[in-house]
Structure 1
Amino acid sequence: MPAAITITGTRTTEHRPLGEYDAVFAEYLAPFADGATHFYIGGAVGIDSLALLWLVTEARSKITVVTPGTLADQPFEARQAIATAQGKGRLGELIELRHSDHPSTGAYHFRNRWMVDRSEFVIAFPRGVDQTRGTWYTANYAAEQRKPRLIVPV
């Protein structure tokens, strides 16, 4: 069982009903959510926020949320999900990387590399196969680091 897992995924999730994401997370995150695994999640909307909320209610694992800038820079929906995790005492740590170029693609890539570098395994939830998207960037970076990946298209 990996000691640390990065979760990465699309910000665009409106194309599926929310209940379907719960089912996907139950299938692909639950096997690691027994309390022994530490999850790293970006503090964005979409998969980041949905996975965070699922982990808060369904897992016993430690959760770290990582933002490329500061919490205040994050979209309202993402800040709400983080506040829910904090309010329930489930957020182990909030890391604000304060990247000097935030918001930018480079800042998000920096955040994703930071999480992967601290993980042993990456679970990616991409929408589509466009390899230029952030989720694929993160999954490919993990492969370059010789870390196993689980790709779950959404």
Structure 2
Amino acid sequence: MLRVAFQQSRSLGTSAVRAKENDLIAQAFVKQIRDLAAKQKSAGGLVNTSPEIKKSLDEQLNRLANKFQLANAEVVSKLNVQIEKANVESSVGSALEGKTLDQMLADVKREQDEYLKEREQKKAEEKKREAAFAAASSNASSNAASSNAAPSNAAQA
């Protein structure tokens, strides 16, 4: 009992340390993202880029301007981009088909009861067949015994 309490308190102590470490990592990422956002805002564009990257970006913007018959590349960079939010359905929700857990449990119970009834009916039918087979085999053996006994009685007379 004491061992269990010790293990639980030890796991609580280590989980708090792990959570703090995770928080430190998350804080480092958030800090880096904020620093990059500030640099991008002050630079007025891309941060830490080479002339080749800027040239490639300008070429792609000019290509898009020509493709969509826009005045220049500046218009392309100022276009409003509207991305529709995808309608994502939960696979669990679609599998449940709007049924609650209680309804599904009731369905399972009903199906189980039906299965057990069918199983009992099959067992009863099997017992009837076995009884009929046993009766038929006992009748056949008694008929065979009486037919064997009849000729011997005739021979005695």
TM-score (norm 2): 0.15
The structure that is strand-richer by fraction is 1
The structure that is helix-richer by fraction is 2
TM-score (norm 1): 0.15
